[in-house]
A and B are shown apart, each in its own frame.
Chain A
Amino acid sequence: MKLVQETTKSEISEPMTIKSPRFKPKRIVYHALTGGLAILMLYPIIWLLMSSFKESSQVFITAHSLIPDPFILSNYVQGWEGIAGQSFGVFIKNSLIIVGLSTIGAVISSACIAYGFARIQFKGKAFWFACMMVTMMLPHEVVMIPQYILFSKIGWLNSFKPIVVPQFFGHAFFIFLMVQFIRTIPVELDEAARIDGCGRFSIFFRIILPLIVPALATSAIFSFYWKWEDLINPVLYLNKAEMYPVSLALKLFLDTETASNWGAMFAMSVVSLLPVVLIFFLFQKYIVEGISTSGLK
């Protein structure tokens, strides 16, 4: 509560801080508090990163220290050799295939569906839109078991198909986000294009798609995250190590955890987080917008 009070007060005195240097100590307190909290939050991540440069035998003996002594890179070499006879490169390749196909499928199909919902007046639209909203709140567990049974009956076990194919039928969150976005585009644009002789498909491809690129980007980024981190589907559907994505490979590291391979496990954990963090820093704007407008994630 103290924290809250502190902020509200300093918010109000904001204009004054700019005018008079008398309030400078307050700003120092602010940055000390906020910066300290930020460091506390990030400490686990920094610890993981630093531990990946420590010798496996040293990781837990020097758990209090962030500075690797000696500083080694061999964990990365050892980790990259992989596990269960597969190099870590194979796991990354698998993850990229799954993520790439899923993302393309989810974004394209969701854009089509969103256009239909946002711009075309057809019978039963309200009903189907309500169905879509309901799927957003549905626990995955309710459909998980029958889906598993269905996919095993049609022989899709041990392939990427059960993970990738459903993505080609639209994703409720993305559809919702894009519908919201399309609604902000003036209908006059569509009408002008129609007068110029555009059909529905060319309006969609030439007018709408180029204008909703930010929403497409936001959806693509979240699709990337969800599929990259997804664990339960690979656990269910993939049982050969050569098909494992990164998430499942890391679980394998953990299952065979011994005192000697902590370093390698930490190193590959860091590798698995690299693309996620990189995309975050590159496309932060889209992520923040996506969350603030639709509560994604």
Chain B
Amino acid sequence: MKFRSMSENIAGYAFISPFIIGFLAFTVIPMAISLYLSFTNYDLFSTPKWIGLDNYIEMFTGDEKFWHSLQVTFTYVLAGVPLRLAFALCVAMLLNRASKGVGIYRTLFYLPSIIGGSVAVAIMWRNIFGNDGTINALLFFMGIDKKILWYQDPTSALWTLILLSIWQFGSSMLIFLAGLKNIPPTYYEAASVDGANGLQQFFKITLPQLSPIIFFNLVMQTISAFMTFTPAYIISKGEGGPLDGTLLYSLYLFQKAFNFFQMGYASAMAWVMLLIVGLLTLILFKTSSYWVHYESKED
């Protein structure tokens, strides 16, 4: 018996050994280094100089750009994620029916998400909202004879990024669609016998039944939205402009690290980001008991 469990242990560790090695080499050790660097002044070429909490103090008290990038990122997350999920849910409900063509619609609606992270799409978006781009051309066509300079104004530039993220609602839509299919049709039948209208059924059946999935989507999308990099980097050509209007947090961190070589400061920013993401997740989990409905509780 002892021999058996010994061999189980050896076999188990043999199979997962790639993970353990990778976890130590590419996650644990780098995180330890990152934490150390966050307390230093380091430009990649000279030796790191210990400066205690100075990076963090500078960040919170002396760096207006840091606060600005936080504000931009929170606007991006708080506007983009709920709109994206609402849109995804609407379209999922539209597609949740047994009808010809639904499969094709599903494919078409998902297409933007599958290509969405690519540089090509960011280039496309940049040009669509360009001064002479499609949007302005179509607005002109509809009789609005005033060019909107999307990328000259910080607010509208950020909104083009938010629109780009809403445009990629596909994966949330697919998850909602799978969830909608799991709601027993008898619930709706019973509700309509009792005289509930469509709106009542949506709020009393669909939303509560879907709430675990909405919660899952909300957590995952919030985390990934907070880390968005490529579209802001491409659309603003790495600048985060105009007037830092699209300076998302990860873009500012990248600039600090690889344009200004303030590796210590950028590491401190990374740890603040980790704390914020962790805190956001924690808040979402804490609030979940008030609105997420788990079926098994009642069974």
Q: Report which A residues bind B (CB closer than 8 A).
A: 1, 3-12, 14, 27, 30-31, 33-35, 37-38, 41-45, 47-48, 51, 59-61, 63-64, 109, 112-113, 115-117, 120-123, 125, 128, 131-132, 135, 137-150, 152, 166, 168-170, 175, 200, 204, 225-226, 228-229, 231-232, 236, 246-248, 250-251, 253-255, 262, 265-266, 269-270, 272-273, 276-277, 280-281, 284, 287-288, 291-292, 295-297
Within 8 A of A (CB), among B241-288: 250, 253-254, 257-258, 263, 266-267, 269-271, 273-274, 277, 281
Contacts of B120 in A (CB 8 A): 48, 250, 269-270, 272-273
| Contact status A254-B237, CB under 8 Å | yes
Residue of A61, A121, A139, A255 near B12 (CB, 8 A) is A121
Also in contact, A34 and B94, with CB within 8 A (given A139-B273, A170-B22):
yes
- Chain B contact residues: over half helix, strand or loop, or mixed? helix
Is B152 an interface residue, CB under 8 A from the partner?
no
**Nearest Cβ on chain A to B104's Cβ, whole angstroms:** 8
Would you list 6 pairs from A and B whose C-beta atoms are within 8 A, ordered by A residue? A44-B112, A45-B124, A122-B11, A139-B223, A170-B19, A229-B117
Is B114 an interface residue, CB under 8 A from the partner?
yes
| Contact status B11-A120, CB under 8 Å | yes
| Contact status A41-B112, CB under 8 Å | yes
| Contact status A280-B95, CB under 8 Å | no
Is B137 an interface residue, CB under 8 A from the partner?
yes
Contacts of B234 in A (CB 8 A): 231, 251, 254
Contacts of B51 in A (CB 8 A): none
Contacts of A284 in B (CB 8 A): 107
Is B75 an interface residue, CB under 8 A from the partner?
no
| Contact status B123-A250, CB under 8 Å | yes
Also in contact, A37 and B91, with CB within 8 A (given A123-B9, A142-B271):
yes
Contacts of A166 in B (CB 8 A): 22, 26
* CB-based nearest A residue for B136: A63
Contacts of B13 in A (CB 8 A): 116, 122
Also in contact, A231 and B119, with CB within 8 A (given A8-B201, A143-B34):
yes
Contacts of B82 in A (CB 8 A): none
Contacts of B56 in A (CB 8 A): none
Instruction: Write out, one digit per residue, whether chain B residues 159-188 have a CB within 8 A of any chain A CB (1) or not (0).
Output: 000000001000100110110000000001
| Contact status B111-A277, CB under 8 Å | yes
With a 10 A CB-CB cut-off, give which of A14, A141, A170, A248 has the most chain B CB atoms. A141
| Contact status B174-A291, CB under 8 Å | yes
Also in contact, A122 and B12, with CB within 8 A (given A149-B33, A255-B237):
yes
Contacts of A138 in B (CB 8 A): 27, 274
| Contact status B26-A169, CB under 8 Å | yes
| Contact status B192-A12, CB under 8 Å | yes
* CB-based nearest A residue for B223: A137
| Contact status A228-B118, CB under 8 Å | yes
**Nearest Cβ on chain B to A215's Cβ, whole angstroms:** 16
* Chain B: number of interface residues, binned into ranges: 35 or more
> A278 CA to B11 CA in the complex, in Å?
40
Contacts of A132 in B (CB 8 A): 19, 23
Within 8 A of A (CB), among B133-165: 133-134, 136-138, 140-141
| Contact status A45-B111, CB under 8 Å | yes
> A281 CA to B91 CA in the complex, in Å?
20
| Contact status B109-A38, CB under 8 Å | yes
Contacts of B112 in A (CB 8 A): 41-42, 44-45
List 7 additional A-B contacts (Cβ < 8 Å) besides A132-B23, A142-B273, A254-B237.
Answer: A44-B128, A47-B134, A117-B16, A123-B9, A137-B223, A141-B250, A229-B119
**Nearest Cβ on chain A to B15's Cβ, whole angstroms:** 3
Number of A-B contacts (CB under 8 A): 296
**Nearest Cβ on chain A to B241's Cβ, whole angstroms:** 15
| Contact status A116-B273, CB under 8 Å | no
**Nearest Cβ on chain B to A36's Cβ, whole angstroms:** 11
Contacts of A228 in B (CB 8 A): 118
> A9 CA to B201 CA in the complex, in Å?
9
Residue of B15, B21, B123 near A265 (CB, 8 A) is B123
| Contact status B18-A38, CB under 8 Å | no
Contacts of B33 in A (CB 8 A): 146, 149-150
Also in contact, A64 and B137, with CB within 8 A (given A135-B23, A145-B257):
yes
> A137 CA to B27 CA in the complex, in Å?
12
Residue of A31, A37, A41, A269 near B124 (CB, 8 A) is A269
Contacts of B269 in A (CB 8 A): 141
> A112 CA to B220 CA in the complex, in Å?
26
| Contact status B206-A8, CB under 8 Å | yes
Contacts of B29 in A (CB 8 A): 146, 150
> A122 CA to B20 CA in the complex, in Å?
14
Contacts of B216 in A (CB 8 A): 295
Residue of A63, A142, A292 near B134 (CB, 8 A) is A63
Residue of A4, A30, A248, A295 near B202 (CB, 8 A) is A4
| Contact status B227-A141, CB under 8 Å | yes
Is B52 an interface residue, CB under 8 A from the partner?
no
Residue of B31, B113, B140, B198 near A64 (CB, 8 A) is B140
Contacts of B31 in A (CB 8 A): 142-143, 146
| Contact status A63-B137, CB under 8 Å | yes
| Contact status A60-B115, CB under 8 Å | no
Instruction: Write out, one digit per residue, whether chain B residues 31-43 have a CB within 8 A of any chain A CB (1) or not (0).
Output: 1011001000000
| Contact status A145-B167, CB under 8 Å | no
